[in-house]
Amino acid sequence: MAFAAFATAEAQTQAPKRKSRIALFLLLPGIAYLVLFFLAPLISLLLTSLQAPREFGDIGQFDYAFNWQNYTAVIQGYLPHILRSFGYALASTVLALIISYPLAYFIGVKARRRPMLQGLMLVLVIAPFFISFLLRTLAWKQLLSDESFVITSLKALSLMAPDAHFTGTPFAVIFGLTYNFIPFMTLPLYTTLERLDTRFLEAGSDLYASPFTVFRKVTIPLSMPGIVAGTLLTFIPAAGDYINASRDFLGGTETQMMGNVIEANFLVLLNYPAAAALSIILMAVILVLVGVYVKRSGTEELL
């Protein structure tokens, strides 16, 4: 074991020294892909976000300029939506983690001796992917509509006020986000927990740690890579999601997120600079938040 680790470490330090034309050549398709489908659109987005309306122009007509006021204007106009996006994304990430962790722990640790059960449960986690994301969200909307069994029962039990609704509320949007991103949280957690060496847990108990302390001091640190990967895979797309919050799905006029604002500015108002500026802000904020998060959880080497 020790020798093997030493050997790989040596190979790693040696690798960058050798210049290989073949390696560069093999990288070309990847680089071309990134330039074509990431760099070019990004530059285009940046240029668009700085455009200014054409003088006496019609709706949707803009010229290239350095109109940085677009950014202050969208922040002033849409601050509630920006905050709401990250608030909803955070809430649904935490909820997804609370729901997924026990699930992943059961599949990855408790069900180890029963591969059939493990396989079956994994299939159940992945099964929702067999149906379109849009259809599933629409189905929830119907299942939780005012006259549905669930809502009428809750009202009969006085758990909901008689004139209350579920669809169109923040709860509905957070519910939808959580539901839709649970597999993205469960799978990374499962892959780390599946490799968890249970002998460490035994060792912890032998040292008179309570089960909770073992969980806090051993299980959680060992599953950190899964937690970080899962929360990132949930938080990033959830912050930019515009399906769940859309008025046509689970949202209402008071639950609109950044994605919905971008959509309205791009498609309806034809205010392309505002839509582009909002997209850049969304990317920048996510980048900063994720950077701080990864740094603070001290898991750069684990990623």
Partner 1 sequence: MTTRPLPQDPMVRAIITQARQAQLNRRTLLTGAGAGASALALAACSPAGAQGKPTPAADESATDKSLNWANWAAYIDEDDDGNYPTLEAFQKESGIAVDYEVAVDDNNTYYGKVKDQLALGQDIGADLVCLTDWMIARWIRFGYAQEFDHGNIPNIANLTPSLRDVDFDEGRKFSLPWQGGFAGICWNKEAVPGGLASVSDLWQADLKGRVGVLSEMRDTVGLIMLENGVDISGKWGDDEYSEAIELLRQQVADGQIRNIKGNSYLEDLKSEDTLAAICWSGDITVINAEAGDKWEFAIPTAGGTLWNDNFLVPIGSPRKANAEALMNYYYEPEVAAEVAAWVNFITPVVGAKEAAAAIDPELAENQLIFPDEETLSNAYVFRALDGAEEQKYQAEFQSILLGS
Q: How far is the CB of 185 from partner 1 (least distance, A)?
A: 29
Does the protein bind partner 1 through residue 81 (CB under 8 A)? yes
Does the protein bind partner 1 through residue 10 (CB under 8 A)? no
Q: Which is nearer to partner 1, 202 or 254 (CB)?
A: 254
Does the protein bind partner 1 through residue 171 (CB under 8 A)? no
Q: Which stretch binds partner 1 (CB under 8 A): 15-23, 137-145, 187-195, 203-211?
A: 137-145
Does the protein bind partner 1 through residue 83 (CB under 8 A)? no
Does the protein bind partner 1 through residue 24 (CB under 8 A)? no
Residue 98 burial (C-beta neighbours within 10 Å; 0-12, 13-18, 19+)? exposed
Does the protein bind partner 1 through residue 253 (CB under 8 A)? yes
Count of residues binding partner 1 (CB under 8 A)? 49
Does the protein bind partner 1 through residue 169 (CB under 8 A)? no
Does the protein bind partner 1 through residue 165 (CB under 8 A)? yes
Q: How far is the CB of 27 from partner 1 (least distance, A)?
A: 13
3-state SS track over the chain: CHHHHHHHHHHHHHHHHCCCHHHHHHHHHHHHHHHHHHHHHHHHHHHHHCCEECCCCCCCCEECCCCCHHHHHHHHHHHHHHHHHHHHHHHHHHHHHHHHHHHHHHHHHHCCCCHHHHHHHHHHHHHHHHCCHHHHHHHHHHHCCCCCHHHHHHHHCCCCCCCCCCCCCHHHHHHHHHHHHHHHHHHHHHHHHHCCCHHHHHHHHHCCCCHHHHHHHHHHHHCHHHHHHHHHHHHHHHHHCCCCCCCCCCCCCCCCCHHHHHHHHHHHCCCHHHHHHHHHHHHHHHHHHHHHHHHHCCCCCCC
Interface pick for partner 1 out of 49, 51, 118, 234 (rule CB under 8 A): 51
Q: How far is the CB of 251 from partner 1 (least distance, A)?
A: 9
Does the protein bind partner 1 through residue 163 (CB under 8 A)? yes
Q: Which is nearer to partner 1, 152 or 213 (CB)?
A: 152
Residue ranges in 223-242 that form contacts with partner 1 under rule CB under 8 A: none
Does the protein bind partner 1 through residue 264 (CB under 8 A)? yes
Residue ranges in 142-161 that form contacts with partner 1 under rule CB under 8 A: 142, 145-148
The tokens describing 266, both together, are: 């791009």
Distance CA 49, CA 221 (A): 42
Q: How far is the CB of 16 from partner 1 (least distance, A)?
A: 22
Does the protein bind partner 1 through residue 40 (CB under 8 A)? yes
Residue ranges in 267-286 that form contacts with partner 1 under rule CB under 8 A: 267-270
Interface pick for partner 1 out of 126, 207, 254, 292 (rule CB under 8 A): 254
Distance CA 160, CA 176 (A): 19
Does the protein bind partner 1 through residue 55 (CB under 8 A)? no
Distance CA 112, CA 196 (A): 11
Interface pick for partner 1 out of 70, 85, 180, 255 (rule CB under 8 A): 255
Rg of the chain taking only CA atoms, in angstroms: 24
Q: Which residues are near partner 1 by CB under 8 A?
A: 31, 35-36, 39-41, 43-44, 47-48, 51, 54, 57-64, 78, 80-81, 138, 141-142, 145-148, 163, 165, 167-168, 247-248, 252-256, 260-261, 264, 266-270
